[in-house]
Structure 1
Amino acid sequence: MLNSIFNWFERIYPPTELAKNPHPPQGVKDFYIYFLTQFRWGLAAKMALVAVGATIDAMIPVFLGQLVELTTNGTPGNVFATHGMMLLAFALVILARPASFILSALLQFHTIFPPMMARTRWQSHWHVVRQSWSYFQRDFAGRIANKIMETGNSLVDSAMQVIDSVWYMIIFLIVAITVLAEVEPIFIVPLLIWLVAYAAIMVFFLPRIARRSKENSDARSVVTGRIVDCYTNIQTLKTFASSKFEDEYVAGSVKSHTKVLHRLMREFTQMWSLLYVINALLMVGAGYMAIIFWNNGDLSPGKLATIIPFIWQTVNISGWILDVASGVFRDIGNVQDGMDTIARPITMLDDEDAPELEAENTQIEFNQVHFAYDSDKVKDKPRVIENLNLTIKAGEKIGLIGRSGAGKSTLVNLLLRLFDAQAGEIKIDGHRIDHVTQDSLRRAIGFVSQDTSLLHRSVGENIKYGRPYASDADMIAAAKQAKIHDVILGLEDENGNKGYDARVGERGVKLSGGQRQRIAIARVLLKDAPILILDEATSALDSEVEAAIQEQLQHLMTNKTVIAIAHRLSTIAAMDRLLVMDQGRIVEEGTHEELLKANGHYASLWRRQSGGFANMEGADPAIPSS
């Protein structure tokens, strides 16, 4: 029975539902409204129940005053006969309090709190994960994740606290002032004076607490980001014996966070000190007035028993409300800080009516393409791609060659639409790639990069990532083609999962570079997309394994349009056409033999090969951080 009640309340709001507009707005007020309106009816019911509870609580001193009047003026023996109905009404009202509390708890802890927190985090993640690649290049992954988790928690906490405490106090004070106006209007004066002072404290300190809390949240996120960065790159930390440097790096952020936290705590100390002063003045002033009125015969014992508890309840509630209100403003500061990260507009949205890309012939065209990193922030930024014109026929195999920084990987990133060109257009089968959906574009492209990272999931899930609903038989066939099947069968993780069920660790850290690259190749083999991009796809493999996989890649390239980047020129010498890039331009093109006869840039690189490698170290330069 009890579980059925819980289930009913818990099924009202699904936790992973998207809003009609799935992109959270900027601005704290709009950000709150965006999430809270999704739970409007639950919140309205919660407010109604809190109002009922506050009204009952505010009536307790009235009941107490009436009982004092009965015991003072009534005749023992006939109280129930003369006042039975009134006493029954008092009892029913008081018994309604736990009923309102139980319903309020069911709404808050089962209908609103868990799904609102889950939905806030889910919708924030849904929006953030669709940001451009450069968005993630400019921040710590741990910091972004921390913002999403903390913002969801702070938003829900602050909303619930406003209803449970601030709304409660508003209703309580309305009832209290109304009752005091009926009992003895003069006692409204000290209460109103206290309310003005109380409001002044809140108006002065709470915005300051919100600002300090935003600073604190940001400083805390920096600590989290630096710590996560250490753990993510633990191998580099260990191999470079940089523990002392890393200690100083993290300790610096911890010290900065502590300074910010101290500034926040100063605001709390000053605020609470003033509250205790005005509370003491209210108690002494109202109490002294009550005694004077009673002593002069102007106040009955029943009224005295009503007024004093009202004042005492107000003082007790004030501390609770201020604590909650400061927490709310602290949460608002956290939400504002998180919102700056979460609600940032997506710079590469699909057009509303963008069609799916139907890649059939897979001819690729670059027409007068210009591109520079961060050109929106820095004017006259040097271009990485300069007036690029290139046509790759359907089914043609292209090899890209060039020194580090020539623009090879940038060209690939533009084709994948990880960035948008500042000028020119890129087409596949005559369709501009910025006019079709990004998902359909990337489904048409199989990509193996030189920096292979895997998801912290099972080997099988990583291979099937390109085609999630592929059969296990197809998955195993792809692994065998990539010469990794036998290795996979010998894997076992710390939880006892074996073979294709074994987890590979964060970014595939439990596997060697060659094993990660072979799994990535298996993933692309299984995906079987019509366009294939190989960016140093075999750079982490030994010669024997590379030779075996090259045979499979040759098979995979059949009837596909291929772009292959390699510093090991011998791996792409047999391509249909080789393109030599320098400073964002194509400076030479032709077959291997034609370029050797031309005795130009390519021939120079070929002659300088030593053991199969060109004298070109590294890859395209990293994207500048902001």
Structure 2
Amino acid sequence: MFRFFENLIKPFPSTVPTQPPNRLLAFCRHYTRGMEAPLILMTILTAALAILEVALFGFLGELVDWLSVKNPETLLQEEGATLLGMGFLLLVGLPLIVLLHAAIVHQALLGNFPMQIRWMAHRYLLRQSMSFYQNDFAGRIATKVMQTSLAVREAVMKLLDVMVYVVIYFAAMLVLIAQADLRLMLPLVVWLMLYACLQYYFIPKLKKVATRQADARSSMTGRIVDSYTNIATVKLFSHSKRESDYAKESMDEFLGTVYQQMRLATGLNASVHALNYALVFSVTAMSIWLWMESAITVGAIAIAVSLSLRLNGMAQWIMWEVSALFENIGTVNDGMTTLSQPLEVTDAPDAKDLLVTNGELRFDQVCFHYGQQGGVIDDLNLHIKPGEKVGLVGRSGAGKSTLVNLLLRFHDLAEGRVLIDGQDIKTVTQDSLRAQIGMVSQDTSLLHRSVRDNILYGHPDATEEQMIAAAKFAEAHEFIQGLTDAEGRTGYDAQVGERGVKLSGGQRQRIAIARVLLKNAAILLLDEATSALDSEIEAAIQHSLTKLMEGKTVIAIAHRLSTIAAMDRLIVLDDGNVVEQGTHQELVASGGIYAQLWAHQSGGFIGVEA
């Protein structure tokens, strides 16, 4: 039975996630698609429970009247059918409705609802641009996904479950009391108006504090995660106290919002209690007065007083549920600012897969900047022939890495085109573009998974033999066999730690090279590919890289000019423009920027400018 309800909602729908709206109701509606049937059924069952519970109080009043006026010997004969019906409702009907309601809520909604939101939000965020992640904490973004998914679930379910229950219950209560005497409604109506005024005063303040609290919580988490992620840097500079103070600053800000929230909660709690006690007093007093006037029966008094006592208990629950509703709305508002940001780099509606036949690259009048007035790259033209090996040279900030990022379409151009075999990269899908490009960068980042998982990331369908061959090719197989982790896993099954922290820089670099070797893409980008290797290992891998480059179009960036001197052509960039190009010998002979860089090298690296 449980499995049936658990399968009512698909937690991992296959639909492609689209940009969520940035308006509250539309945002919540966006993430409830596919859950309409369980939510509507839950609401109907909630309304039925509210009506039947109030009906029980009505029956209680009738029962009191029967016991007051009817003959015990004839009671069952006269009212036996009604008593049997109410007994069936109590023992069978209501438990079945409660079971069905609980199954819908617990099996169908509580787990699947937020999981579907996390799944859709995560897939959408994976398509965000590099700059999106560069402008925020990774931990903060992750916290937003987790917080917002739960907050949307709570906001929607409290609105459709709790609020429907309260409205139906109160309306049925008024109808029942009005049947005894309309004057008995007066204390309830006055209580409702004053209760609404209290909510109107306190709830918006609680919502405002909740929004600030959600942002403070995610910032606090982001700062803590940032310290843990960069723990080596923290320890290297002996900045444990500095990091503690950095985290304490955000913790203190979060705690300030908690204090504000609790002050409002105390005021609301005390006010609602006072109002509830006044309701019980006024209903009891009016009931006695009306009974003394012979306007109502003892059963009506029992109904009115019982319902007022029930409302007294419910009011506390309603208060916290309404507060929680608006607190979750505040959290949704906060998360919405992150999750609903539009994608900066998108595929064209009619984008096709990139087809690489030769590997010809062309940068045609390319202009790009990172938001500054001046361009990082301004009207750049560059043609790289199929299978040509090109080295990019230039001082720091010349635009070398930017040029590579534009080829990978991590950013869109301000003007111009980048063509691969005559195909504008804006007209092809991003996934197919990057599938045809292999890259080894200076900042090698490994996934917090096994060595095997990291290498196979380049080609998930590769065989064990192909994976080991790539590792041997990258001079990595020998050290991998000696790896072990805290769980006792060894070799290719050993975990590398977050960002590969358990490995040395050279080991990470060799695994990254093995990953690209396994990918075997038609275009190869090397951004300081051997920078983390010692001379002996570099010499061994340089031979492997030379073999890897065979038949591929290659762009290599290196500050150690000796590693790219043998390239077919060297391109010298300065302020985003091609200022020189030619072979190593030609550029040294010309006496330009490259010749100066070569002359000023210290230990084989580009040194400080003269």
Pairwise TM-score range, normalised by the shorter structure = over 0.9
- Give 3-state SS (helix, strand or coil) of 2:540's partner: helix
Residue 112 of structure 2: which of 112, 115, 121 is its match? Answer: 115
Measured against aligned partners, the alpha-carbon deviations of 1:188-245 in whole angstroms (never above 9, x if no partner) come to 1211111111122222322221111010010111110110000000001111111121
Contact 1:65–1:305 (8 Å) recurs in 2: yes
The residue identity in structure 1 corresponding to 2:65 is E
1:545 equivalenced with 2:541 (yes/no): no
8 Å CA contact 2:17–2:124 kept in 1: the answer is: no
- What is the correspondence of 1:261-340 to structure 2 with a 5 Å cutoff? 261-340=258-337
Superposition deviation, residue 437 in structure 1? 0.4
Relative distance call for 1:443 and 1:19 in structure 2 (3 A) is closer
Q: Structure 1 segments of 4 or more deviating over 6 A?
A: none
Whichever residue aligns with residue 591 of structure 1, its letter is: T
Q: Which residue does the alignment assign to 1:556?
A: 548
Give me the whole-angstrom Cα distance separating, in 2, the residues matched to 1:21 and 1:149.
Answer: 17
1:503-560 CA-partner distances (Å, limit 9, x unpaired) = 1000000000000000000000000000000000000001111111111111111111
559-568 vs 88-97, which moves further: 88-97
Partner residue of 2:47?
51
Give the alignment partner of residue 465 of structure 1, picking from 453, 457, 461: 457
In the other structure, the counterpart of 1:498 is 490
Would you say the 8 A contact 1:18–1:123 is kept in 2? Answer: no
CA positional deviation for 1:492 = 1.1
Q: Residue 623 of structure 1 aligns with which residue? A: none
**Could you list the per-position Cα deviations for residues 264-292 of structure 1 after superposition, in whole angstroms to 9, with x for gaps in the alignment?**
22222222222122212211111111111
TM-score between the two structures when normalised by the length of structure 1: 0.95
2:428 is matched with 436
Structure 1 runs not aligned, ≥5 long: 618-626
Secondary structure of 1:389's counterpart equals strand
What is the rounded CA distance, in whole Å, between the counterparts of 2:546 and 2:33 in structure 1?
Answer: 56
The residue correspondences of 1:52-451 to structure 2 (distance < 5 A) are 52-95=48-91, 96-375=93-372, 380=373, 382-451=374-443
- The question of whether the paired residues in 1 share the 8 Å contact of 2:181 and 2:295 is answered with no
Which of residues 25, 31, 36 in structure 2 aligns to 1:29? Answer: 25
- C-alpha distance after superposition, 1:48-99 (max 9, x if no partner): 1111111111112111111111111111222111110111121122231111
1:608 to 587, 591, 600: 600
Distance in 2 between residues matched to 1:21 and 1:523, nearest whole Å: 29
Matched, 1:39 2:31: no
**Distance of 2:349 and 2:112 partners within structure 1:** 29
Q: 1:590-614: CA deviations, max 9, x gaps?
A: 0011111101111111112232222
Tell me the secondary structure at the aligned position of residue 85 of structure 1: helix
Take 1:351 and 1:578, find their aligned partners in 2: how far apart are those partners? 34
Kept after mapping to 1: 8 A contact 2:17/2:120: no
* Map of 1:536 onto structure 2: 528
Native 8 Å contact 1:56 1:94 kept in 2: no
Tell me which of 10, 24, 27 is aligned to 1:14.
10
Q: Is the contact made by 1:404 and 1:616 (CA closer than 8 Å) also made in structure 2?
A: no
* Structure 1 Cα separation of the partners of residues 6 and 257 of structure 2: 39
CA RMSD of aligned residues (A): 1.3
Question: Aligned equivalents of 1:611 and 1:315: distance in 2?
Answer: 82
Could you tell me the percent identity over the aligned residues?
45
**Does 2:582 align with 1:586?**
no
How many angstroms does 1:616 deviate by?
A: 5.2
Q: Is the 8 A contact 2:180 2:296 kept in 1?
A: no
Alignment partners' CA distance in 2, 1:298 and 1:108: 44
Secondary structure of the residue aligned to 1:319 is helix
Under a length normalisation based on structure 2, what TM-score does the superposition of the two structures give? 0.98
Instruction: Measure, in 1, the Cα distance between the counterparts of 2:406 and 2:11.
Output: 36
- Tell me the secondary structure at the aligned position of residue 31 of structure 2: helix
Alpha-carbon displacement from aligned partner over 1:277-316 (angstroms, at most 9, x marks no partner): 2212211111111111122322211111111111111222
8 Å CA contact 1:19–1:38 kept in 2: the answer is: no
> What SS does the corresponding residue of 1:500 show, helix, strand or coil?
helix
Q: Which of 466, 477, 482 lines up with 2:474 in the alignment?
A: 482
Task: Determine if contact 1:370/1:386 at 8 Å carries over to the other structure.
Answer: yes
Residue identity opposite 1:173 in structure 2: F
What is the one-letter code of the residue matched to 2:403?
L
- 86-95 or 589-598, larger mean C-alpha shift: 86-95
Shift of 1:20: 6.2
- Runs of at least 5 residues in structure 2 that lack an aligned partner in the other structure: none
Task: Report if aligned partners of 2:483, 2:490 keep a CA contact under 8 Å in 1.
Answer: yes
- SS of corresponding position for 2:382: strand
SS across alignment from 1:336: helix
Residue type of the partner of 1:108? V
The one-letter code sitting in structure 1 at the alignment partner of 2:255 is T
Write the distance in 2 (CA, Å) between the matches of 1:583 and 1:447.
Answer: 24
Q: Deviations over 1:105-127 (max 9, x none)?
A: 11111112211111001101111
Task: Find the aligned partners of 1:294 and 1:183 in 2 and give their Cα distance.
Answer: 11
Q: C-alpha deviations, 1:466-515, integer Å up to 9, x for none?
A: 21111111111000000000111111111121111111000000000000
Once residues 326 and 351 of structure 1 are traced to their aligned partners in structure 2, the CA distance between those partners, rounded to angstroms, is 44
Number of corresponding residues: 608
- Further displaced range: 604-613 or 321-330: 604-613
Q: Deviation at 1:173? A: 1.1
2:514 is matched by which residue type in structure 1?
Answer: A
d(CA) in 1 for partners of 2:574, 2:466: 41
**Stretch of structure 1 that moved more, 100-109 or 366-375:** 366-375
Q: 1:479 to 1:434 in 2, by over 3 A?
A: same
CA distance in 1 between counterparts of 2:606 and 2:463 reads 41
Q: What is the SS of the residue equivalent to 1:38?
A: coil
Query: Offset at 1:11?
Result: 1.6
Residues 363-407 of structure 1: per-residue CA shift (max 9 Å, x gap): 1111111111135xxxx2x22112111011111100011111111
